[in-house]
Amino acid sequence: MKLIVGLGNPGAKYAANRHNIGFMAVDRIAADHGFSPWKARFQGLVSEGRLGNARVILLKPQTFMNLSGQSVGEAMRYLRLSPAEVIVLHDDLDLAPGKCRVKQGGGHAGHNGLRSIHQHIGADYGRVRLGIGHPGHKDRVAPYVLSDFAKADADWLDDLLRGVSDGAADLAAGDGARFQNAVAARTQPARNSGTRPAPGAPLRTPPVPAPAPAPVPAVSEQPASLTDKLRQLTDRFRQP
C-alpha cells in the first residue's frame, strides 16, 4: 500500500492558489483512475483505489498547510506504513512552472508543509516537486503562493496535472524515471519548436519524391525519301 499526499489549504478561498497544486494533482489522479469519493478521515479527506498493482490511499490534509504533518502522521501510523511508503506532492518555488522532479528523503527547503511533515514522520518519505516558479524576491513569496494561478498558466498547469495522472501507476510502483517520462510526454511537446509531434498526433511520413521523368528516346534517323525507297525497290527487281 502507498499513501499519496497532496498538500494545500482547505476551503474554496484557497482552491485555485499556487500553494494548492498538490491538492489539484491528487484530485486529478482520483478522477482519472476511478477512486472512491472523498471522505473525512485522518484530519483530512481520503480517497481509495488502485494504481497498477498497488493499493493506494490519497490524502488531502485539512489542517492547513503549516500543520500538514498532523494528518500525514496519523494516517501513516493507522495504516502501519513506513515513511518510505509515503509520497507527498507539493508546490516548489525553485522549479520553473510546469517542471516536475521526484526525490526520496532530503530537507524541506523552507516549505512549511514539508517542515511539519518532517516533525511528525521524519525526512525519509518520497516527494514530487511541482514547479510553480518564483516571484523574484523572498518578500513576495507569501502573497505569490497564496494567490491564484493566472489565466496564462492554464495550459501548462493542465499539461502538468495530466502528466502526473498518466504516470501515477509508475509513481506508486516506485519507478520515478518512468513517472517523470510520463510527465515529460505531456509537458515538453507544448514547449518545443514544432519539430516533434504532440502525443497522439498522427506521425508525418516524409514526402515521397516524384518519380524522375522517363528518358526521352533518342530521335531516330530521318526516314528515307520516297525517291530512295523507289530506287531500293527498283534495284531489288533488277537482281537476277
Q: Is residue 222 a part of any domain in this protein?
A: no
Q: Which domain holds residue 108?
A: 2-191
CATH code of the domain containing 111: 3.40.50.1470
Q: Is residue 176 a part of any domain in this protein?
A: yes
Q: Which one from 19, 90, 111, 118 is the annotated catalytic residue?
A: 19
Q: Is residue 232 a part of any domain in this protein?
A: no
pLDDT in tens, 38-71: 999 999 999 999 999 999 999 999 999 999 999 9
Helix (H, G, I), strand (E, B) or coil at 60: strand
Q: Is residue 216 a part of any domain in this protein?
A: no
pLDDT in tens, 70-125: 999 999 999 999 999 999 999 999 999 999 999 999 999 889 999 999 999 999 99
Nearest to 24 by CA among 163, 205, 137, 120: 163
Annotated active-site residue 19? The verdict is: yes
Asked whether 84 and 2 are in contact (CB, 8 A), the reply is no
Number of domains in the chain: 1
